[in-house]
Chain A
């Protein structure tokens, strides 16, 4: 269908004898699959772009999130990587250190930079250079089920972890099939679910001296708090078999009172269970009023070995135009990363999103350190051990901290 235009264009190029236009340029783009909408969205954006730029051919490669890093690793090791790719911003340092990601500053002008919120652009800046553009951004907030709250006689959503415990107790007392606090204990972001409590207790993932903060009082307290909630039946049973999606499913069924997760749950609820009466509020604070949400961005990077940097950049310019950003952000349920998009009524008047954006000043991003995935895995394992009651809190966390320090060295 697109062929005629493309052939015509290349024929024209041949006649004019402009060498640079002689052949259609292939730009390969690896994208992570966030939902069933991701693939079609990028295909559409590519088609629209090709219409405008008949000399460039965009190839979209959709990869499931779980295997994205594996695929990138094999691709790069086999020298077969694409020109552009979505990556978790938390992996970026590894990419920059190995000279794989190309700095984008030479392409960017002030107008382009000005499209983004500073807070979302800064995680992908290193040594004064920008290596990635935030493509998906989200923060975490607490969802609560208003109906369950009403039944349990709770009037306002909890502001502190202590209040949360009390609320969870009342909700858990409602019946065998309802649980107070949904606690994630399996797979991706198990560690993050622990950090909410950890940060509220004043903990820092990486201490000022560059070592892990898991062997501090804040970590012990947070672990003790979660463990006691598990032991007194305030969470769903068997937390270590619940991935984030599993806990979300319980919430959608109206069976947990509270859970902490990302804005995309609101999008899912609107599509799947529009009648669910829920609210979104800040993550509870700790005894000293400290709190923290997890800010996470995924970035698009350009590969240093790409032979089509100019063409790839052109596509990025289209992708980060207000029109395409707005469609992506709305469709997937992410937070706007651009001011112009955030000002659109669909986002500006969205009560749920507001709760999330209000939390952004407290947002903590994954620290810029190498080997983040391994550190996250060590942390998750330690926490699972504690949740299961198979290890004492302090020795387990100290041991994990020691192993993390080995990596940080």
Chain B
């Protein structure tokens, strides 16, 4: 084999690892330092605090609620988007008239920045001026305006719905990539042998889709867990913190109340939680792959 920079993997990976490492590790060290320090209102360090900041985070009455909702939020959107994207990808993988257009439409939510999507929905969900209410009224679904964002029982499901809608394009793209890697003859052979479409899906498609499903679960969990704009732009976690998830809680603690020590501690805890969850999932997925 000829020697070249191309055959030395260390040289190949060095720039990428340096760039990512610099941007991730340096700030992480900073945050760790803040988390164990006494910090004034403006993030200036004023001595060692031990675990005080962590205790303050956990004893905050809003913390447990935010944890629980983060769990619901993440699971609902990750599962929901997979449940929506799988059939969409299966349909888009078939050959039909206007498939190109259908694919473009399915990708559209992606073309709008998340912040803007959230702003549009905030406007559309407005109780009196919002166009969702006027549309539903015109269709005869409702008689009186629903104040969507007034209480968490309507606001939170709406936010989850928006979350699924914006997560769908990415998930569908991943799945489409997976589906196109499955040779057509495999499906055809199975069909010739008399397998029903459901059987083909369960016995052939799904197992082959496993790695792509895993990518979707891991990536979406990370993104959704950390997703900020949808909730912030529609309700800011209100009313009465009833739509707060950890990220919006973090933002309030850090930047509105100026408790940067608590915020740094919370950041680390969130990071740790995500790390543990993802590693467990990756382990499980790998074990399944091997068996």
Contacts and interface: CB of A to CB of B under 8 A. Distances in A.
A82 to B, nearest CB: 14
A390 B152 CA distance: 11
A76 B43 contact: yes
Majority secondary structure of chain B interface residues (helix, strand, loop or mixed): loop
B256 A69 contact: yes
B42 A73 contact: yes
Interface in B12-62: 40-44, 61
Contacts, number: 111
B80 interface: no
B239 A97 contact: no
Interface in B233-261: 235-236, 238-241, 251-252, 254-260
A245 B61 CA distance: 30
B150 A239 contact: yes
Interface stretch (B122-130, B212-220, B267-275, B282-290): B122-130
A240 B40 contact: no
A74 B127 CA distance: 35
B42 A241 contact: no
A76 B42 CA distance: 6
B252 A246 contact: no
Contacts of B258: 69, 73, 94, 371, 373
B147 interface: yes
B255 A69 contact: yes
B150 A76 contact: no
Nearest to B244: A381
Contact of A381 (B240, B251, B256): B240
B17 to A, nearest CB: 26
A366 B258 CA distance: 18
A382 B240 contact: yes
A246 B61 CA distance: 30
Given A77-B42, A373-B257, A403 B239 contact: no
Given A186-B238, A240-B238, A384-B238, A73 B260 contact: yes
Interface in A192-249: 236-242, 246, 249
A389 B239 CA distance: 12
Given A76-B44, A237-B147, A373-B258, A388 B239 contact: yes
Nearest to B34: A77
Interface in A371-409: 371, 373-374, 377, 380-382, 384-385, 387-388, 390, 403
Interface residues of A, number: 43
B149 interface: yes
Majority secondary structure of chain A interface residues (helix, strand, loop or mixed): helix
A255 interface: yes
Interface string B145-178: 1011111000100000000000000000000000
A100 interface: yes
B128 A373 contact: no
A79 to B, nearest CB: 9
Contacts of B42: 72-73, 76-77, 94, 98, 100
A70 interface: yes
Interface residues of B, number: 33
Given A70-B251, A94-B258, A176-B144, 17 more contacts: A73-B255, A74-B43, A76-B42, A76-B44, A77-B42, A77-B260, A94-B42, A98-B40, A100-B42, A186-B238, A237-B127, A239-B150, A240-B150, A371-B257, A373-B258, A377-B252, A385-B240
A125 interface: no
A384 B127 contact: no
Contacts of A369: none
A241 B150 contact: yes
B145 A237 contact: yes
A105 B129 CA distance: 50
A185 interface: yes
A250 B130 CA distance: 12
A377 B62 CA distance: 12
A355 interface: no
B257 to A, nearest CB: 4
8 contacts: A70-B251, A97-B41, A237-B127, A237-B145, A240-B240, A250-B128, A377-B256, A381-B241
Contacts of A237: 127, 144-145, 147, 150
A403 B59 CA distance: 12
Nearest to A75: B42
Nearest to B39: A77
Q: Which of A76, A77, A380, A403 has the most CB of B within 10 A?
A: A77
Interface string A71-99: 01110111000000000000000110110
A241 B127 contact: yes
A107 to B, nearest CB: 23
A98 B44 contact: yes
Nearest to A67: B255
Contacts of B238: 186-187, 240, 380-381, 384
The 8 closest A-B pairs by CB, nearest first: A238-B147, A77-B43, A238-B150, A70-B255, A241-B150, A76-B42, A240-B239, A384-B239
Interface in B175-227: none
A308 to B, nearest CB: 20
A98 B41 contact: yes
Contacts of B61: 403
Nearest to A76: B42
Contact of A240 (B44, B126, B151, B252): B151
Contacts of B43: 73-74, 76-78
A398 to B, nearest CB: 14
Contacts of A185: 150, 239
Interface string A44-76: 000000000000000000000001011011101
